[in-house]
């Protein structure tokens, strides 16, 4: 109950649109302020969004959880139709780029998991073979090595399964969040900044 009340208080900090969606507001002077300014010679449509803006949007949407939202840009000097179209394309492009980067991380996790599975299964077969060849007269060192192989096999297999149980779900959740931002409705509002 208390958590639900805290969440409602959190959502009350945001304005709502006519259709009830939460408004994530970005207020600035001009559209150029939305972009990373590492290269002044590149047209702003091709620049990355400012990383701080990206983090701000990610934090806001994470805070909203599943609540429907839209992103409103309140600008003192609003762009023309072509400029606004570029902003819309840039926001979608930037977050879809982040989705691709996150998917690359997931592929690396799966690759590591597959390698660890292969190693673990190989060691496990070796362990079973060695353990079957042991008898009560086998030297203690050989028995310790056989047990060590069994432990190493299970450690490797557990690490491979941990990717699916522990590491993959947060990446999947983050990808969904980035996709929500990339496909979010965008609005423009002319407003005095200051």
Task: Give per-residue pLDDT as tens, 98-127.
Answer: 999 999 999 999 999 999 999 999 999 999
Q: What pLDDT is stored for residue 194 in this prediction?
A: 52
H-helix segments, 51-193? 51-64, 81-133, 140-162, 168-182
Query: How much is the pTM?
Result: 0.80
Going from N- to C-terminal start, the domains of the chain cover: 2-190
Identify the segments of the chain with pLDDT beneath 50.
46
* CA separation for the pair 134, 79 (Å, rounded): 79
Q: What pLDDT is stored for residue 2 in this prediction?
A: 62
Q: What pLDDT is stored for residue 3 in this prediction?
A: 60
Tokens 């091709």, located at residue: 46
Q: What pLDDT is stored for residue 122 in this prediction?
A: 95
Q: What pLDDT is stored for residue 58 in this prediction?
A: 97
Question: CB–CB of 5/46 below 8 Å?
Answer: no
* CA separation for the pair 38, 22 (Å, rounded): 32
Q: What pLDDT is stored for residue 40 in this prediction?
A: 55
* CA separation for the pair 31, 53 (Å, rounded): 12
């Amino acid at each position: 109950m208390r958590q639900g009340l805290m969440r409602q208080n959190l959502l009350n900090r945001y304005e709502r649109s006519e259709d009830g969606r939460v408004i994530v507001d970005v207020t600035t002077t001009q559209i150029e302020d939305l972009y990373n300014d590492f290269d002044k010679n590149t047209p702003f449509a091709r620049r990355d969004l400012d990383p701080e803006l990206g983090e701000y949007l990610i934090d806001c949407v994470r805070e909203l959880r599943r609540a429907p939202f839209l992103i409103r840009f309140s600008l003192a000097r609003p762009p023309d139709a072509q400029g606004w179209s570029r902003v819309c394309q840039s926001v979608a492009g930037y977050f879809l780029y982040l989705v691709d980067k996150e998917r690359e991380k997931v592929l690396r996790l799966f690759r590591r998991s597959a390698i660890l599975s292969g190693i673990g299964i190989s060691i496990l077969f070796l362990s079973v073979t060695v353990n079957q060849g042991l008898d009560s007269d086998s030297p203690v060192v050989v028995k310790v090595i056989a047990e060590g192989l069994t432990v190493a096999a299970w450690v490797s297999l557990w690490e491979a399964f941990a990717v699916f149980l522990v590491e993959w779900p947060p990446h999947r959740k983050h990808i969904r969040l980035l996709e929500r931002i990339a496909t979010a409705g965008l609005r423009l509002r002319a407003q005095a900044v200051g």
